[in-house]
Chain A
Amino acid sequence: MTELWQLTKLIRSKNAGPFKLTFDIMFKNAKGFRAVLKSSQLSAELFSRLYGVPVDKVQFFVLEPLLTIKVTIPRPVPSGDLNDNDMYGGQFHGPLVRLAIE
């Protein structure tokens, strides 16, 4: 069993403006990139489930030349709002790091 971080050189989340969050997942090589795409575990559905947003609001980009998957979602709470826990949105990627890839 492989965990996602073992295949990547960067997993990050960050605000894309105060109302959106974006995740960049950059792979070390084409082999790991394709393995993850093929497994379809990293999907719009996964982001919908983990972050409680409707699946049709999940933007899912596959950037072949950069060996990167980029995902953008509406922020569960706007940055700095009363119930926000993460102003810069920099730790939302936590649950993805050890995602098991078959």
Chain B
Amino acid sequence: MSTKKLKAIAATGNLSTGFREESICRAARGGADFIGCDAGSTDSGPYYLGSGKTRGAREVTKHNTSLILREALKAEVPAIIGTAGYAGGRPHLQWMLDIVRELARENRWHFKMAAIDSELDKEDLVKAFHAGEITPLDPAPQLNEAVIRGAERFVGMMGVEPFQLALGAGAQVVIAGRASDVAIYAALPLLRGIPQSVAYHAGKILECGAASVAQRMYPDCLMVEMDNEGFTAEPPNPEMHCSPQSVAAHALYESADPYLLVESGGTLDMSGAQYEAVNDRAVRVTGSRWVPSEMYTVRLEGAALVGYRSVAFAGVRDPLVLRQLDRYLEDLSVVVEKKVNDSLRLKREQYVLHWRVYGRNGTLGALEPEKGNIGHEVGLLIDIVAPTQAVAAGIVSIVAHTGLHHPIPEHEGLISNFAFPFSPPGIDAGPVYRFCSNHVWRLSDPLGPFPMTIEDL
């Protein structure tokens, strides 16, 4: 039996959140086979995928990337970054590639860089949809030809194969669009013969960086050593430690099922996993199973433009207004509706007017079981979404001014019920998107929609 060992470093859970320089140096000096980092998620909502914008400042991402590249190049091992620019679309990938090119130029680094695109052609998706290759997960919004064509952008979540193609082509730096977080870390170990059960479970633990330590004071690195039977996880930072409990519990975080992790080519079954302390800092994990799937599928993520948002925030402190707040807002809505119809020629169903009442049920909305409890003040977030930014701003202005002076029977004369902290009260919040798919696409070739280019820097 071979006792091949392979060491992986996860720089952090998300490239833009950072890690300690001394941690990555200590981890890399100890010998590693690659450094990986996940750079994105759908966690912050549909805006990034829809708009093509990135999350996190460019300078911060550049700094964090420079540390990863420096250590990887010094150790002569690959650096693998997935879900570039937060959403993994083409603009996100280009943004990240520019950062890497700039770093190479500034530091006189020379390496082979692979770029893997994951933005999908909408016409390909329409064809796949009609061929029955796209199936919904549960729950999923309705997807059809019109939704696909109307969406702003779709990406496919790649599995390990595109990474493996890039590594096989000799890339020292791999920058990928939308990718499974786990695939970033499983791709190279699988190429080197580590079993799937080990590589995928190790990937699941690595993908959030130091999140699987007992007490994560700040984002940081994690190291994993894999072999044929299992893996050992340990943080390089001496101030942190893993415990069997902390590593096992990490399988719960943000996952719908604590035992089963569905990936593109199969499912990792962690129900039989054993977690043992190697010492007071490191944990050995064994006993997971990999169950290959009959079909190879990739998750589809799409975002569609809904409209443009303008908001205003106001405090309400008058107890006489507060005791009739619902009626007050309903009456006010009727007045606003007429004004918007008269001046902007918009019917009620052509825009969204959403009163978000903080201090009552701003957080849970209609689900709030204690919405009868109202304190001495509420914060009123006036939320407008309309077909254009100018119209949204116009409606917010109407709502703010009408609401300010809307009367209540207990006071005679002109009153001012909204305490606006800002001048002007309205803020334009830009385009609003929604996730328009929660589907998977059955592929005959795992590389199909993920073209790769190689660049010598």
Q: Interface residues, chain A, CB within 8 Å of chain B?
A: 14-20, 22, 24, 26, 50-52, 59, 61, 63, 65-66, 68, 70, 72, 74-76, 78-83, 85-88, 91-92, 94-95
Contacts and interface: CB of A to CB of B under 8 A. Distances in A.
Interface of B: 42-47, 137-141, 245, 248-249, 252-259, 306, 352, 354, 356, 362-370, 385, 432-435, 438
Given A19-B139, A19-B140, A88-B43, A65 B363 contact: no
Contacts of B256: 16-17, 20, 22, 59, 72
A81 B434 contact: yes
B369 A95 contact: yes
A85 B356 contact: yes
Contacts of B44: 80, 87-88
B247 to A, nearest CB: 11
A82 B364 contact: no
Nearest to B303: A80
Given A70-B258, A79-B45, A51 B367 contact: yes
A58 B367 CA distance: 16
A92 B252 contact: no
A59 B259 CA distance: 12
Contacts of B254: 14-16, 22
Nearest to A73: B256
Given A19-B139, A70-B258, A85-B356, A24 B252 contact: yes
A10 to B, nearest CB: 9
Contacts of A66: 245, 248-249, 252
Contacts of A74: 138-139
Given A19-B137, A24-B253, A79-B45, 11 more contacts: A14-B253, A16-B255, A50-B367, A59-B256, A61-B258, A63-B252, A74-B139, A76-B367, A80-B434, A82-B354, A86-B363
Contact of A80 (B47, B352, B354): B47
Contacts of B140: 19
Contact of B438 (A18, A22, A70): A18
A79 B242 CA distance: 31
Contacts of B43: 15, 79, 88
B306 A91 contact: no
A88 B166 CA distance: 33
A29 B138 CA distance: 34
B112 to A, nearest CB: 34
Given A70-B258, A74-B139, A92-B364, A80 B249 contact: no
Identify the 7 closest CB pairs spanning chains A and B, nearest first. A80-B45, A16-B256, A72-B256, A74-B139, A87-B45, A80-B46, A18-B435
B348 to A, nearest CB: 15
Nearest to B47: A80
A63 B356 CA distance: 37
B449 to A, nearest CB: 20
Contacts of B362: 85
A92 to B, nearest CB: 7
B236 to A, nearest CB: 26
A79 B365 contact: no
Contacts of A16: 254-256
Among A65, A75, A82, A94, residue most surrounded by chain B Cβ atoms (within 10 Å) = A82
Nearest to A72: B256
Nearest to A88: B43
A83 B354 contact: yes
A94 B363 contact: yes
A63 B258 contact: yes
Nearest to A77: B365
B418 to A, nearest CB: 21
B306 A26 contact: no
Contact of A85 (B47, B364, B369, B432): B364
Contacts of B435: 18-19, 78-81
Contacts of A52: 366-367
Interface centre among B46, B258, B368 (most CB of A within 10 A): B258
B432 A82 contact: yes
B216 to A, nearest CB: 13
A69 to B, nearest CB: 10
A82 B356 contact: no
Nearest to B46: A80
Contacts of A61: 257-259
A2 B57 CA distance: 46
Contacts of B47: 80
Nearest to B433: A80
A72 B121 CA distance: 33
A65 B248 contact: yes
Given A20-B256, A61-B258, A88-B43, A78 B434 contact: yes
B364 A95 contact: yes
Given A51-B367, A66-B248, A82 B258 contact: no
A20 B385 CA distance: 24
Given A22-B256, A59-B256, A68-B249, A17 B438 contact: yes
